[in-house]
Amino acid sequence: MTALGILVVALVAGVLGALLGLGGGIIVIPGLTLALGFGMQEAIGASLMGVIASSTGAAVRYVKQGYVNVRLGMLLETATTTGAIIGALVAVYLDQDLLAILFSIVLVYGAYHMLTRREKVYRPEELEAESQLLDLSCTYVDQKNGEEVCYGVKRYRTGLLASLGAGGLSGLLGVGGGVIKVPVMNACMCVPMKAATATSNFMIGVTALAGAIIYVRYGYLDPILAGLTAMGVLGGAVVGSRLTNVADGGSIRIMFGVLLLAVAALMVLKGLGILEVV
């Protein structure tokens, strides 16, 4: 029954992770700790393996469909990977309840930006000269309505700084970094929501791998737990990447924000000792 529970949690995480660009960590970690009674560090280690599986399952399809901004992803990943290694090294020494509270704070931050900021998209020629120093513009065809979307990328320096922090959070909390990178790309860098989630999926696998190496080193990666989690997340990611074609950016933003707030509330209760694992 425990194995079945892990697979169900991972499957749901894979669907939502691929659809929202989060890698599934925000579902895997609460599911394993609150519902199935695993320790926080064990859950984070398994989540990182699930994030790798989610990236593998969804990113290939997103690249083929043109949603992924490869140049932007490779640029931001340089900072994210560095942060992931630092975060994972810190996480193995922190208290589990403190980790849960930190996790919830990050989720509330992401939810605030998704629910309160209106999406703005600029064509490349509309950007100021600073944003044009690096040509990170991209074009894709929205599979839902067949329209061509051409956009430029603003504030790439802010994006690099945020990606460093996102990588740290990935290694620290096992969330893949998408919880920070998606709101930053969408609300700050003016990347359309579908492109932001797809590009996040493209990046998170490398980020999670950097953090997972540290967890292996300190013995927090249970091979059976990690294997079951990866299997479930991979299957869900394939389904989630297909759902992107029938969803619109506004709906994805609302789903993103509501999901983050719900999970944040659960993790705060756990971190404060009000909600015990079952």
Q: What is the pLDDT of residue 278?
A: 39
- What is residue 108's predicted lDDT score, i.e. its pLDDT? 83
Contact 159, 185 (CB under 8 A): yes
- pTM for the full model? 0.73
Torsion of CA 115, 116, 117, 119, to 10 degrees: 40
Q: What is the pLDDT of residue 109?
A: 76
pLDDT for 129 beyond 60 = no
Tokens representing residue 205 in the block: 């696998």
**Domain map of the chain by residue range?**
2-271
Q: What is the pLDDT of residues 18-71, one digit of tens each?
A: 777 766 677 787 788 877 888 777 887 888 787 777 777 777 788 888 889 988
User: Where is pLDDT greater, at 228 or 179?
Assistant: 228
Q: Which of 23, 73, 31, 30 is nearest to 48 (CA)?
A: 23
Q: What is the pLDDT of residues 133-162, one digit of tens each?
A: 677 888 888 877 788 889 988 888 888 888
63-77 tens-digit pLDDT: 888 889 988 988 888
CA distance linking residue 187 with residue 182, whole number of Å: 8
CB-based contacts of 15: which residues, under 8 Å, 6+ apart?
236, 237, 239, 240, 243
Does residue 217 carry a pLDDT above 70? Answer: yes
